[in-house]
Amino acid sequence: MISGSHRLVLTGLLLLLVGCTKTTPVEEISVQASGVSLSDSDVPDLSRSWPGWRGPERNGHAPDQDLPVQWNETKNVLWRTDIPGRGHSSPVVIGDQVLLATADDADQEQLVVAYNRQDGTVRWETVVHEGGFPSPGELHKKGTNANGTLLCDGERIFAVFLNSGKIIATALDLKGKQLWQQELGAFNSKFGYAPSPLLYKSFVIIAADNRGGGYIAALDRKSGKIAWRVARPAVSTYSSPVVAHVGGRDQLLISGCDAVTSYDPATGKENWSTPCLAEATCGTIVTSADKIFASGGYPKRETVGLSADGKLLWTDKTKIYEPSLLVDGDYLYGVTDDGIAYCWSTETGDVKWRNRLRGSFSASPILCNGLIYVSNLSGETFVFKATPDGYEEVGFNKIGDDCYASPAAADGELFLRIGKQSGGKRQEQLVCIAGPEESKAAETKQAE
């Protein structure tokens, strides 16, 4: 017979062997219980800005504009400025400001920085959290404490951070003053927090998949009150959600937890869930008018095309884990983490072409003027045509020593967050790249 003390020792050893993960039950909240309803009366027009993750439509598409395709450390660089701390948050462009989330690990500060779009000078800095950082063992070696991209609705800036074991959303005004702060729920970190917030009419929607108990929540963007919150599996996965009008209705879509899942963005009610992909994904879903596309992940490898109601149409055993995909017309484009560019038919999933680029990739591509821009982890940006006829490169550009964040584009200017090595130390920089005409226009504005 095993004594009580020995039983406790054996139980402890068993927990160590199988892994002991603290779970936190998610308290679901309905729109009926919250009393917060969706409104579209004040939806802003942000089509000419870059208001958040993957641009105005959250699909990587930039409006056609005179965007440069050639640059280097000096050529077509309008300005560059140092960024405090570290982060993979991509630039956000609203009006005459460029916004970034970043984290100072030494001082344990998570902050939002606003730069003057004309010359890169700092307008203001707001510390959102002080202390409360996850332990080094709870963060991936490539990750930071500011992975998620900010969101702006033209009046408010929304920042979402993992802090003190919770996901916390904060709203600032355009001068950096805090308007509200809301805890969304507990977060048991395996590799850190990655998703970026999503604007949908009067809601800000935020995903928080984690091994302690995942959830998606919608907040009222004016008050910060939780409108709805629904539970998801207790799985560590990292994709940002997207709302797309597909199949004749708005659908809130997210990959991860071995599935692609659709929710009603107004209520959080699940529409459907299709088993596919992998336990963990990072990329954001993209869509056409009647199809849905996703890729990932870990430990499985798969790229899929789904119907608007979740039927699996085709599958390809190619994995694009960190970068997101792009859809342009009848074709799907992507670059794998290890640097192979792909073009698929959206209809059949047939590979039209593949081409090996140089280096490894974390950043997601953007599309502008029929051209795809994507940066690798060595600070090299490839510019190639979005065409099914084969890989056709029109630009290859090197600036900085690394690039984890995805680019932003607005009014003929391209914004990159890069890293520079100097004296054995890494310094992040924000760089504004513009063609000669845009540079002259900016100089004229500054002179005035």
**Tens-digit pLDDT string for the chain (448 aa):** 444 444 333 333 333 333 457 888 999 999 999 999 999 878 788 989 999 999 999 999 999 999 999 999 999 999 999 999 999 999 999 999 999 999 999 999 999 999 999 999 999 999 999 999 999 899 998 999 999 999 999 999 999 999 999 999 999 999 999 999 999 999 999 999 999 999 999 999 999 999 999 999 999 999 999 999 999 999 999 999 999 999 999 999 999 999 999 999 999 999 999 999 999 999 999 999 999 999 998 999 999 999 999 999 999 999 999 999 999 999 999 999 999 999 999 999 999 999 999 999 999 999 999 999 999 999 999 999 999 999 999 999 999 999 999 999 999 999 999 999 988 899 999 999 998 765 545 544 444 4
* Token pair belonging to 150: 């900010």
Cβ atoms within 10 A of the Cβ of 224, count? 18
Residue 38: alpha-carbon gap to chain centroid: 24
For Cα atoms 86, 128, 175, give the angle at the middle one, nearest 5 degrees. 100
Cα separations in angstroms, 152 against 55, 76, 115, 259: 11, 27, 14, 29
Instruction: Check: CB of residue 170 under 8 Å from CB of residue 155.
Output: no
Q: Choose among 145, 226, 149: nearest CA to 180.
A: 226
- For every residue of 291-315, DSSP letters joined together read EEEEEE-BSS-EEEEEETTS-EEEE
Whole-angstrom distance, CA of residue 237 vs CA of residue 17? 22
Burial of residue 283 (number of CB atoms within 10 Å: 0-12, 13-18, 19+): buried
Q: What is residue 22's three-state secondary structure?
A: coil
- For every residue of 88-149, DSSP letters joined together read -PPPEEETTEEEEEEEETTTTEEEEEEEETTT--EEEEEEEEES-PPPGGGS-TT--S--SP
Whole-angstrom distance, CA of residue 121 vs CA of residue 250? 39
Residue 113 main-chain phi, psi, to 5 deg: -120, 135
- Which CATH superfamily does the domain covering 88-373+383-394 fall into? YVTN repeat-like/Quinoprotein amine dehydrogenase (2.130.10.10)
Residue 341 main-chain phi, psi, to 5 deg: -85, 140
| Domain extents in the chain | 60-87+374-382+395-441, 88-373+383-394
